[in-house]
Structure 1
């Protein structure tokens, strides 16, 4: 597997889906392997801070995260496409990110990483806001996602913030489509595919 593309929106065929489709088309056109994770269709429980991973380096919860831990480790990178909910990411994405505490615990508490820390992985983040741009629209999302990329040992090469999608959908926003294309191509080149 090459890349994981996380679609963090529950809305089918809307703006995040349109951004994912643009990435998919670029990857298909460049023969890049990928897997799309529509996380709202997945069973991902909340982290309950039980401390199991602090002692064992893995999470004890049996759900779809069990396979995702392996996929993050095997991937060449991860792309997150997320809507903005109250200046941050949706709860489902936050749950996925919180569950990567198992990687953090294995690396920093137990000093026995459960993810290959020497593997060269790269990714980027697309945050989609329906309203017109305002100063803090993407701030909280970015802070959380920065920690996520560190947890999964992936270099975050770029962030793309797309505002005003309630009025202009991504599929009709030539600048947004071009920016997605540029970042996707850059990602392909930087990982050497």
Structure 2
């Protein structure tokens, strides 16, 4: 994986979901203080320069940063969209968003270092998308690549995601929208630490 050590918990950013007046960098810093180590920077409406500045700020805060969709200066890896036409970077570890076990197998065969499989549960971030069947996680496990459950992940269902076969948790909305994001991260890390890996 070209030196990128994968955690059991990934935080994906989306500043559009933040409560009014809250800073994305400050939120992530709180989460790092709570034990978070890895962040996927999305903010796809930002300029590449603005996104690179965010990568730098979060790296300075102590996070290992992965950029979404395209490589960014300072990022340790790239998380590609589900579109199979999205080209993997030749010199960075990369993952891909997947929505079915068959997509996970294709990503693994193409060299992905990890994948997200979503949505695990109903999510405010993507209303109207039905949760995928738990069997998809079991079928995805045979691909031999770490699979993160994404979509509607909360401390209340995190253990269910792990029980379904996920290798880790990827969370966005429940942390971005939280009054106390650090508390959500701590609760998710507690679930991760207690899981029978």
Band the TM-score falls in, shorter-chain normalisation: 0.3 to 0.5
Q: Which has the higher contact order (CA 8 A, sep 6+)?
A: 1
TM-score by length of 1: 0.37
The structure that has the greater radius of gyration is 1
| Larger helix percent | 1
